[in-house]
Amino acid sequence: MQRRLNDINGVLRGIGVVVNATLKEQTLKASWAWSKSDYRNILTTVSKSLCSKISDQNLSQTASYIAGRIWLLNQQNFIIAKSLILPKLAESFGFVPATNVGDKEGTSNSGTDIKTANDAETSQLKSQKNTAESNKRKPLLLQDYPIPSPPTLDQKAFSKERRVPSSRIGRVAGFGNLALSLGVGAATEWAKQKVGYPVSGDSAAPPNVFLAEANLEKIVDTLCRMRGAALKLGQMLSIQDESFVSPQVQKIFERVRQAADFMPAKQMRKVLTSELGENWTEHVNDFEEKPFAAASIGQVHRATLKDGRIVAIKIQYPGIADSIDADINNLTSLLNRFNIFPRGLFADKAIEVARKELRAECDYLLEAVYSKRFAQLLEGDPVFQVPQVIDELTTSRVLTTEYMNGLVLDDCISLPQNVRNWIGEQLLRLCLKELFVFHVMQTDPNWSNFLYNPQTGKIVLLDFGASREYDKSFVDTYIRLIHASAEHDEETILKLSKDLGFLTGYETKVLQQAHVNAVSILGEAFASEENFDFSQQSTTKRISHLIPVMLEHRLSPPPEESYSLHRKMSGCFLLCSKLKAVVNCRPLFYEIWNNYQFSDTNPSD
């Protein structure tokens, strides 16, 4: 009996030696196979990607992601071990592995198992990516961040209560007085420079005596008093980058952007009565006579309706709609007299486009239609919010909507970096969606038209007066142009620019290359695989260096759609720059590009 036990013990020890030797051999083979495996490279790449993208905001998601990858790695190691080690071990004991029915070679299921694990990995990665993208498009709350009540305009030192010149004679006289005072101011500045008298403001004298600081003050004062088309120009100048507008000009027009002068209560009530009727006060419990905002066309008052709703009532300045043509003609004459328009600007076309846009903006009923349309288009969006229109208190000259709380983007500059990044990404997403999905865009990028509410985490969209639609054929070609820019395809950029009307085909090579370079620079944000740091971008500065060449050699004005479109796109980029946002722009564009439905066929798509 003892002998049999000793024999069995010896056999078991022998089996142990064989098993250890087999495991050692197969472990070496498995290690060699792993070193040559594609999974190893994939895991290394993903690990590096994770390290570069970990932030406080997505730390928990990242931890879950890494845990999932480790689990998948263990599953793959088990499958590899099962396919390489167990068959050899079974053969050592004389067992024959079972074969699949119909498998002539008698192969194992290891390939199927690996494919199953790989499919599971791909599915999990897609799920995690979609979750991350979904989280980016959820409201971003800052519960403890207070929303200050907006001050009324009489609390702002730069705002004045002044009657709006509503008659044609009064408005012509206003521009005439401005022209006379500017002429005197320019002559005085020229004389100062000739005799070496120190100039006011910056130490370097402006190249155009018309732009002396004293004259700029006169312009701002007149624009704030006249309002209308003239003030609109000042507000457009105020949101330009310093590469296009000197810091001196930009600083002084900042006052124009923030607020115009506001109407006296008597003049304001006269407008309300003429538009809403003598009994308009019966609809409200409380009406604040001091406006909390004023713009180029109207001013906005807060009120409380009988049902308790707080609303914002926008009241158009009297005579503005009827004086658009006269204002633009007077302003154009003034600017031409002082040689402000550069050669090659095709000012007549630009002015005609501005004239059409201003006429549309003066129709508050049209703005109400666009406001309702955007509310419908963005109904399922978790981030953006559009105020409800109060139809019974809305006419062509008065627009009433629900009052919305929030921080204007000027006040968001001090918010945490991740919040500014999020705001910038949402604004870019909206801009792309407006053009390429909705084919209708609110084209005024004024900072006051966007409010971030830290308590709801949403972005409120205001003022749809500058909304316009774009033909599908134009959008089809324009999205191809942006795609060509993102892919650095200069030949396609040139061809599509001719198709859109930016070029005639008879321009010099110098102009063609300058145009291609400008388009390529604009597409850099969508071309970059990495996060795009808007605080470090030099887009506007580099384009400004190309503008003199383009103005000198341009043979035709750009297409009409480009005036409003590029104003919105460049303004959106500038907003991101002011916020110092860091955004991964490429996925935003390619999500739309990959799902875009063209109305025509193009072999290149």
Residues noted as catalytic: 444
Pairing of strands 384-385, 458-461: parallel
Distance, in Å, from the CA atom of 477 to the CA atom of 482, rounded to the nearest integer, reads: 9
**Which H/E stretch holds residue 567?**
helix 560-579
Distance, in Å, from the CA atom of 61 to the CA atom of 130, rounded to the nearest integer, reads: 12
Q: Which two tokens stand for residue 378?
A: 């963005």
**Which H/E stretch holds residue 433?**
helix 417-433
Helix (H, G, I), strand (E, B) or coil at 197: coil
How far CA 599 is from CA of 440, 471, 474, 477, 500, in Å, comes to: 17, 11, 11, 10, 16
Q: Which two tokens stand for residue 9?
A: 């013990």
Residue from 566, 557, 543, 568 nearest 347 by CA: 557
Q: What would you report as the CA-atom Rg of the chain, rounded to the nearest whole angstrom? A: 33
Distance, in Å, from the CA atom of 198 to the CA atom of 203, rounded to the nearest integer, reads: 8
Distance, in Å, from the CA atom of 52 to the CA atom of 47, rounded to the nearest integer, reads: 9
Q: Which residue has the tokens 């009489």?
A: 154
DSSP code of residue 244: T
Residue from 476, 483, 433 nearest 599 by CA: 476
> Contacts from 375-383 at CB under 8 Å and sequence distance 24+?
377/438, 377/440, 378/461, 381/137, 382/137, 382/138, 382/139, 382/458, 383/137, 383/138, 383/139, 383/426, 383/458, 383/459
Residue from 214, 216, 213 nearest 204 by CA: 213
Residue from 499, 547, 551 nearest 522 by CA: 547
Q: Which two tokens stand for residue 18?
A: 């064989």
